[in-house]
A and B are shown apart, each in its own frame.
Chain A
Amino acid sequence: NAGVTQTPKFRVLKTGQSMTLLCAQDMNHEYMYWYRQDPGMGLRLIHYSVGEGTTAKGEVPDGYNVSRLKKQNFLLGLESAAPSQTSVYFCASSYQGLAGVGEQFFGPGTRLTVL
């Protein structure tokens, strides 16, 4: 089991460029999440999905779009990158637990710099 993988690990973009971050999980989890982590801000939820074909907005969705066409994949798109989107992006997946959503399993992160 690879767990949660993210592609790419590092990326440098120029302002206005677009890119897609790919997250894949092989644990058959229903739930998938995209977070960004900035110094002093903690992890903030961008978008999430509770199942294949569904997506929802989190705390900081502006400037991002997502798609969940297959259960195992969750894509995060930046249509027109801005310097404020320089961050570390983490993908996570989780299962339905007995009392709520189970623990989250995180990918290794993508370090994005927008110049």
Chain B
Amino acid sequence: GQNIDQPTEMTATEGAIVQINCTYQTSGFNGLFWYQQHAGEAPTFLSYNVLDGLEEKGRFSSFLSRSKGYSYLLLKELQMKDSASYLCAAESNTGNQFYFGTGTSLTVIP
């Protein structure tokens, strides 16, 4: 079966760094995506990891360990606009399907 776990809620201070973890168990794992979703809006793509290691894109970085079934999203220099839900999604190589976690609701406080 498929199992994607991430914390439900997190709170962090403006200007700080926050790490959002995601663990996954999927059959035929291909890669791991992170999406950002503001309230009432559609998810938008943040990052993709297929190989082990860290991928950096500006203030956002994402890490993957395939052997541990673990990923994290790192947000630096937090801004108020980063308050949103962050979704991790595992891509299965059997049928081109994606399995999403329930999302981590991040609140950035002044």
Contact = CB atoms under 8 A, between A and B. Distances in A.
Interface of A: 31, 33, 35, 40-45, 48, 50, 56, 58-59, 90, 99-109
Contacts of B31: 99-100
A60 B2 CA distance: 13
Please list the 8 inter-chain residue pairs (A to B) with the smallest Cβ-Cβ separation, ordered nearest first: A106-B42, A42-B102, A43-B100, A103-B45, A100-B30, A99-B50, A42-B100, A101-B96
Contact of B45 (A59, A105, A107): A105
B98 to A, nearest CB: 7
Interface of B: 2, 4, 30-31, 33, 35, 41-45, 48, 50, 87, 89, 91, 93, 95-103
Given A42-B87, A100-B50, A90 B42 contact: yes
A50 B102 CA distance: 25
A42 B44 contact: no
A106 B44 contact: yes
Nearest to A43: B100
A45 B97 contact: yes
